[in-house]
Structure 1
């Protein structure tokens, strides 16, 4: 990644792609979702999303630290924590309201079940309290609660990572190894309640932070060892793809994703290494410059994530599910194109409303 101070057009591009992929992955009839990372790897867009969140958080913290001092940097992330919590509540409300509307109109029963509307109706006050205290997260809001925790930890993790990458990584790996008992201790070990164990997924976030504040040097990238790493990564990626396509043909237990299993971590790391090589060679930056709308999605990440939940629900409900074969593929592809177009329009509209320039320099300061 771009290690210069400020934000990276490559990171914004990757974030934009991942946000669009998340929308498509949550449309059951999507055609393009069958071409996404989860089809060919044991990891998926969630790892990429959390990793890039750590990278962007480290960039934001160091930028504010350099410009306004430590106190301002810490307060920036206290405020960010509140922003994410509000986004979580809004996403939860939108999910429940969508479920209520669909139930009232007798549309899309599977999505009504996923929304959590039926349990909410039975005990609305108790359910609302559980949602407010992060005990239960309706459907697509489930990734945001751990970000609330991560935002609070940034002022402690980034300085530690800057002082000693080994200490930060060692602490993170230790917490990851103890993630399941820690989750049980805090009563968040039920997949139905916490889809993402924050004690496990903090490893992805910390890896993103480390890649920002302690990047691999260009000197190392030029060595024979780095070239061997690249060759090994190619072999590993192909091996994981073969296993996923031809061996593990049935859905894997949800607990593996919830607790970030070791094979998911390894698969992500080798993919990230190869992606970093494309970034170093300038291919990603050139692609990002040709697709500024996707970069805009990455720069309005939280807004697009929240709005994307509605886009997924609306497109899935509006897309006919009675077609099969080639016709069904075309219908699903049409829904995908509508969803992508809506996300791009939302990002553009928000960007224009906020008065932000659509194109900024690759190393412009900021945090989306």
Structure 2
């Protein structure tokens, strides 16, 4: 009698996490497509926080699921090894992405196809400030590999690498007490805010990383803490909803350029409070604004994302967005490449500024992100490892049945069993 094998229950993916990560990926593409008029309608135009906050916060939540259980079940050393493996993957993804985009742009520039076919004289390499890399390759190639040369277009993944590297430290501190975790998070954020912790972005100047990882870790580990249960889920209360809505609406005049450019008083206040909403050091108003917006979004999708799981057209669209969110790293890498490629294609074929052209360019990019998500999901499923059950010839089945039906000890049955 064989012992019954009990498999551990599979943890269901949270539909909210994948949905908002996917939504963030689409917004990031819109923000990176050059001269894209759709950027006038992304969240960054109406509040202090934007798609970067969505990416970092959701990455913290996803990391708690992906890496937290390794720390819990296999210990700190194996958890650290698992995180270091992810850091290794993201590091090479960053390097390869830079080389692909830089090589593609300089190839287009030097081919002369833009001038010969379209009469365009766009400096795509210069638009990303990459001529320094080609003019000083001997100096900047080591900088690329050591993350001391980080152009602004390629600054999110280096930030993510450093934050991931902080995860074993945070989990080690959590053994002392959760209060110590939040104290370390706050201390790192304060040190970064006062420029006591910073990283160089290029060898020839004193420019620093645009995204200071020691500041942005505050948001990452907030999402991490929610998913680990270190922070309780906020209650659904009318007064909290009102407070969150007031925070979101009150920031619009200071973030929407139409508002503060029309009012000298608003512009003066915005300039005066810049340290509170600055993006590089993750100003505290960005944190407050994002948490308020996230709270409203969390309520809007229903308990456990019930409004996202439907059988109609809306549910099908949500499923596509969730698929993009499930493959966020691959989609993010593709989005930056697609943004540049589609921007060049748009300039060559259609030009800029036309509403239909912008719709087509963004739609083409969205289709590309969706295709990448489904392709990567298919490869990750490793379909080549799924072997079909071989068909058993009928004569073999018949022989097996006759062997079982023959009396024990009979010559025919014994011969069948031996065969």
Q: Deviations over 1:320-349 (max 9, x none)?
A: 47454xxx1221111000000011011111
Post-superposition CA distance 1:286-331 (Å, at most 9, x none)? 566642222121111111111111100011111147454xxx1221
Alignment length (residue pairs): 347
Q: Distance in 2 between matches of 1:67 and 1:279?
A: 32
Corresponding residue number in structure 2 for 1:360 = none
Using the alignment, how far apart are the partners of 1:131 and 1:183 within structure 2? 23
Query: In the alignment, what sits opposite 2:416?
Result: none
Among 313, 320, 326, the alignment partner of 2:340 is 313
1:77 paired to 2:83: yes
User: Quick check: 1:196–1:258 contact (8 Å CA) kept in 2?
Assistant: yes
Question: 2: CA distance between counterparts of 1:188 and 1:166?
Answer: 33
Match of 1:330 in 2: 356
Structure 2: any 5+ residue segments left out of the alignment? 1-9, 115-120, 262-266, 384-419
What is the deviation of 1:28? 2.7
Alpha-carbon distance between aligned partners in 2 of 1:288 and 1:243, rounded to the nearest angstrom: 35
Measure, in 1, the Cα distance between the counterparts of 2:29 and 2:308: 22
Q: CA RMSD in A?
A: 3.0
Distance in 2 between residues matched to 1:94 and 1:16, nearest whole Å? 23
CA distance in 1, matches of 2:167, 2:197: 24
Q: Identify the residue that residue 195 of structure 1 maps to in structure 2.
A: 210
For 1:209 and 1:27, how far apart are their aligned partners in 2?
Answer: 30
Higher deviation after alignment, 131-140 or 280-289: 280-289
Q: Distance in 1 between matches of 2:19 and 2:240?
A: 25
Tell me, yes or no, if structure 1 residue 125 matches structure 2 residue 147.
no
| Structure of larger gyration radius | 2
Taking the TM superposition and a 5 Å limit, the aligned residue runs for 1:81-100 are 81-100=87-106
Task: State the match for 2:126 in structure 1.
Answer: 113
- Within 1, Cα distance between the matches of 2:77 and 2:12? 19
Match for residue 219 of structure 2? 204
Render the CA deviation track for 1:186-218: whole Å, top value 9, x for unaligned: 545989551211111111111111111136546
In 2: Cα distance, 1:206 partner to 1:213 partner: 10
State the partner residue of 2:235. 221
Q: Which has the higher contact order (CA 8 A, sep 6+)?
A: 1
Give the corresponding residue for 2:6.
none
The separation in 2 between residues aligned to 1:164 and 1:7, in whole angstroms, is 28
Structure 1: runs of 5+ lacking an equivalent:
358-368
- TM-score, scaled to structure 2: 0.74
Whether contact under 8 Å (1:288, 1:294) holds in the other structure is: no
Judging changes above 3 Å, is the alpha-carbon distance between structure 1 residues 288 and 110 closer, same or farther for their aligned structure 2 residues?
farther
The 8 Å contact of residues 309 and 315 in structure 2, kept in 1 or not, is answered as yes
